[in-house]
């Protein structure tokens, strides 16, 4: 169902569809429908995906003052480095091309979190002695991961601005995730565990004492946030690239909780209330960069 967001400046939820819905001609999925004031392309991980586990996501919670269609290409487990690696030859490349895509007003990205947790077993190590969270990390491995994250974002920006693009120079908006609590809380479907836990497993395998888990996790997520933010503010910042700092937005889950806790449904995914908080910040910035 379409939701108007024009009269009286009311904030209404965006209309979210899958890229595949467009390909199959599903009703209400045409980005060129004049009903919509804005067309936004979204690519990312499970924080964006529509048909993954868990079923809630950030996009569902976004509200804007004008009618907006968000065409989503996100998928659970996606890494920003892999998105960039295959972008030119897959559906993302098509969606951003003048030949097969649409004239997007903006692009939303969610990436870097999976790159980090996928490499957690390589990064986290048992220290000879503990004085700082960095003692529990292989800094060379961490830098390799962050370098791949940065390279992934840079590649997607290059794709946006290449010849034949349908969205050259249009704003790209991403976020920095938030601090997670390492805990034995995997993603579930019908109460059955499917994937994870992630940092919990890496920390446990490395023999890190439980009392240091949050500090080590916070160090890793802060390092990721710093690197992503540098792409918008650093000396080699990307053009028309915006980062919403979402660190310290959510109430952390309780250490030891195995199910929904505070703003988190599992170890690395917010619950609907948590996504609502993140979405509010993202939508506020998106409204400012849209023409």
Q: Do β-strands 172-175 and 106-110 pair in parallel, antiparallel, or remain unpaired? A: parallel
Query: Tens of pLDDT along 254-289?
Result: 999 999 999 999 999 999 999 999 999 999 999 999
- How much is the pLDDT for 86? 64
Q: Do β-strands 38-44 and 106-110 pair in parallel, antiparallel, or remain unpaired? A: parallel
- How much is the pLDDT for 87? 65
Question: What H or E segment, with its residue span, contains residue 102?
Answer: none
- How much is the pLDDT for 7? 40
Alpha carbon of residue 71 to chain centroid: 15
Query: Tens of pLDDT along 232-241?
Result: 998 999 999 9
- How much is the pLDDT for 1? 36
Residue 17 banded pLDDT, cuts 50, 70, 90: very high
Q: How far apart are CA 105 and CA 91, in angstroms?
A: 18
Domain positions in the chain are 7-112+147-185+225-277
Query: Tens of pLDDT along 86-119?
Result: 665 588 989 999 999 999 999 999 999 999 999 9
| Contact criterion met (CB below 8 Å) for 41 and 17 | no
Hey, how many other C-beta atoms are within 10 angstroms of the C-beta on 163? 6
pTM of the model: 0.92
Across the range 38-46, mean pLDDT stands at 94
Q: Do β-strands 38-44 and 68-72 pair in parallel, antiparallel, or remain unpaired? A: parallel
Query: Tens of pLDDT along 177-223?
Result: 999 999 999 876 545 556 769 999 999 999 999 999 999 999 999 99
Residue 150 banded pLDDT, cuts 50, 70, 90: very high
Q: How far apart are CA 145 and CA 118, in angstroms?
A: 9
Average pLDDT taken over every residue of the chain? 91
Joined together, the tokens standing for residue 139 give 């800094």
Share of the chain above pLDDT 70, in %: 91
Hey, how many other C-beta atoms are within 10 angstroms of the C-beta on 162? 13
- How much is the pLDDT for 52? 52
Spatial CB neighbours of 25, under 8 Å, sequence gap ≥ 6? none
Give burial (CB, 10 Å; 0-12/13-18/19+) of 291.
exposed
- How much is the pLDDT for 193? 52
Joined together, the tokens standing for residue 160 give 């946006």
Query: Tens of pLDDT along 161-181?
Result: 999 999 999 999 999 999 999
| Contact criterion met (CB below 8 Å) for 96 and 169 | no
Looking at domain 7-112+147-185+225-277, its CATH class is alpha beta
- How much is the pLDDT for 216? 98
Cα dihedral sign, 257-262-265-266: negative
């Amino acid at each position: 169902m379409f939701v108007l967001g024009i009269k009286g400046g009311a904030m209404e939820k965006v209309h979210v569809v899958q890229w595949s819905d467009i390909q199959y001609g599903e009703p209400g999925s045409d980005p060129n429908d004049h009903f919509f004031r804005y067309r936004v392309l979204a690519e990312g991980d499970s924080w964006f995906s529509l048909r993954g586990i868990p079923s809630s996501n950030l996009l569902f919670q976004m509200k804007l003052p004008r009618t907006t269609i968000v065409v989503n290409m996100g998928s659970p487990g996606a890494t920003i480095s892999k998105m960039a690696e295959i972008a030119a030859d897959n559906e993302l490349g098509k969606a951003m091309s003048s030949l097969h895509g649409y004239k997007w007003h903006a692009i939303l990205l969610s990436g870097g979190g999976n790159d980090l947790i996928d490499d957690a077993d390589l990064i986290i190590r048992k220290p000879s002695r503990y004085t700082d969270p960095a003692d529990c990390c292989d800094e060379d491995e961490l830098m390799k991961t962050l370098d791949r994250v940065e390279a992934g974002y840079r590649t997607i920006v290059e794709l946006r601005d290449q010849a034949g693009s349908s969205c050259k120079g249009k704003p790209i908006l991403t976020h920095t995730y938030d601090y997670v609590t390492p805990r034995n809380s995997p993603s579930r479907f019908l109460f059955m565990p499917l994937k994870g836990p992630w940092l919990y497993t890496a920390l446990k395998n490395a023999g890190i004492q439980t009392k240091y888990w949050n500090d080590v996790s916070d160090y890793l997520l802060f390092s990721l946030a710093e690197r992503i933010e540098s792409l918008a503010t650093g000396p080699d910042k990307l053009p028309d690239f915006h980062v919403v700092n979402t660190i310290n937005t959510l109430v952390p889950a309780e250490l030891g909780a195995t199910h929904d806790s505070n703003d988190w449904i599992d170890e690395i995914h917010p619950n609907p209330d948590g996504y609502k908080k993140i979405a509010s910040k993202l939508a506020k910035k998106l409204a400012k960069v849209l023409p």
